[in-house]
Amino acid sequence: SRLQAQEVAAHKRTHENDSRLSALESEAGAFRDAVREKERLLAHAQAQRSAVEGHLKDVLRRLEEAKEFAIELEVQLKREKVANDELAVANGLLKADVAALTQQAATLSSREVDLEKETTSMEEKSLALHGTISQLQEENTQMQAMVNSLNCGKMDLQSQHAQLMKQHQAKLKQMGAMRKDLYEVQGLVHRLISCNKGIAGTIWTRKGVLLKEDSSGVKKEWFVMGGPEAGASPNDPLLIALRTEVLRLEELRRDEEGLTILRP
């Protein structure tokens, strides 16, 4: 289940990276469109600047002509004073137009500088986005390799599980034979209990397992019918065989309990 969770997390992260990659590519396209729009605005501003400069040259030319005309009018000042006043007013208006056009040209120049700065910033952001896209593509490749590795590990674990199940089935067959031996030993135990009734009295007072302390003060299990209070000799061959068989069956029981976790 942990491998399945890792596999699901890896697939989820791959899907998230794909989504982020698509979003970043869309954002990069938007940035490219914005850069193209800025370039178009810059070209338009340059065209306007050229038009303003042409108009300014025309106005300057007209100003020069007005100055020449004013010189000629000064000669005729006495005769055409009214006309000269009108020309002076026109000259003032032309100067105001020149000042306004000069201010507009300065504003356009400042705007052109700002557009160039924005274009440079957009290009830097586009390069950063390309780097991020490349990094996400590398992470996506690594995630795909991790998913493939997890799939291989899953197949290995399934193969090991199948082998362990075969071993478990063989062990169960062995346990069947051992249970048969256990029944035979239980019959032997019943016969020993019957013998013990005649030797040590009633079996009900000694039935079960007692805890006795040895010389070091550690409590251990003593079989009543084999303990000192039962009157049996510790070197009795029948008692030794019984204890050996009980230990063997206890070990087999532990093995069987350990294998139960492998059962489907």
Instruction: Give yes or no: residues 243 and 147 share one domain.
Output: no
Instruction: Give yes or no: residues 138 and 225 share one domain.
Output: no
Nearest-angstrom CA–CA distance, 194 and 183? 17
Instruction: Give yes or no: residues 70 and 119 share one domain.
Output: yes
Can you read off the two tokens belonging to residue 178? Answer: 């051992």
Nearest-angstrom CA–CA distance, 60 and 38? 32
Nearest-angstrom CA–CA distance, 112 and 48? 11
Instruction: Give yes or no: residues 132 and 221 share one domain.
Output: no
Percent of the chain having pLDDT more than 90?
0
| 167 has a pLDDT exceeding 70 | yes
Instruction: Give yes or no: residues 79 and 143 share one domain.
Output: yes
Helices (H), the chain: 2-75, 81-200, 237-259
| Residue at which a domain ends, from 160, 187, 218 | 160
Exposed, middle or buried by CB within 10 Å (0-12, 13-18, 19+), for 225? buried
Query: Could you tell me the residue range of the domain that residue 40 belongs to?
Result: 2-160
| Residue at which a domain ends, from 160, 185, 205 | 160
**How many domains are contained in the chain?**
2
What pLDDT score does 219 carry? 52
| Residue at which a domain ends, from 160, 180, 211 | 160
Percent of the chain having pLDDT more than 70?
69
For the chain, the average pLDDT equals 74
Nearest-angstrom CA–CA distance, 126 and 132? 10
- The answer to whether 206 touches 200, Cβ cutoff 8 Å, is yes
